């Protein structure tokens, strides 16, 4: 496992760090077939590798228009999130990454933790384009995530969706 990258790392350092973390994820999942083990591994690697990741986890699509908490690291998360609510719901509903520099300014934000200041949520699709889950990262730091985080997390989640396309619902 790599040392945790601090919040205000330079762009080149951040890209290089994500590249190393992604290589580690691929190596760890090389022979894995269990989708829950895959999620847990992705969460662990990312959460431990970035100092500004304070809550990191998956919310799985388990029934129509609802997300259910999956593997995560951090304090307790919300257990069930409808697509109609919150940042995770917005990512699920729109199929687009939600990059939120200030959660208090996000209409309909669900405060699962009172310490969260910023958030990024990336949808995860299988090869058929079906939404499998969303990947959620909360930070206790304001404006913690940027375009590099978005680009890199979208790449990692695209890999995950291809690697584990048949997650049971």
Residue 169 is predicted with a pLDDT of 52
Please give the pLDDT value at position 14: 94
* pTM, two decimal places: 0.93
User: DSSP letter string over 108-140?
Assistant: T---S-TT--EEEEEEEE-TTS-EEEEEEEEES
Could you tell me the residue ranges of all domains in the chain?
A: 11-163
| Fold classification of 11-163 (topology level) | Beta-Lactamase (3.30.450)
Run means of pLDDT, 10 residues per run, the chain, 169 residues: 75 93 97 94 97 96 94 92 94 97 80 83 95 96 96 98 76
Under a CB-based contact definition with an 8 Å cutoff, are residues 154 and 97 in contact?
A: yes
pLDDT of residue 82: 93
137 near 120, Cβ under 8 Å? yes
Q: What is the pLDDT of residue 1?
A: 58
């Amino acid at each position: 496992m790599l040392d945790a990258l601090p919040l205000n790392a330079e762009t080149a350092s951040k890209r290089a760090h994500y590249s190393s973390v992604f290589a580690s994820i691929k190596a760890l999942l090389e022979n894995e077939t269990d989708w829950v083990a895959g999620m847990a591994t992705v969460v662990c690697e990312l959460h431990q590798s970035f100092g500004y990741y304070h809550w990191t986890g998956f919310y799985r699509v388990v029934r129509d228009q609802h997300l259910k908490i999956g593997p995560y690291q951090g304090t307790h998360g919300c257990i069930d999130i409808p697509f109609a609510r919150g940042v995770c719901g917005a990512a699920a509903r729109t199929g687009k990454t939600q990059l939120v520099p200030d959660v208090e300014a996000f209409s309909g934000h669900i405060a699962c933790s009172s310490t969260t200041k910023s958030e990024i949520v990336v949808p995860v699709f299988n090869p058929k384009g079906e939404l499998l889950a969303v990947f959620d990262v909360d930070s206790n730091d304001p404006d913690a995530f940027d375009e590099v985080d978005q680009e890199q997390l979208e790449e990692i989640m695209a890999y995950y969706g291809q690697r584990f396309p048949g997650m049971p619902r």
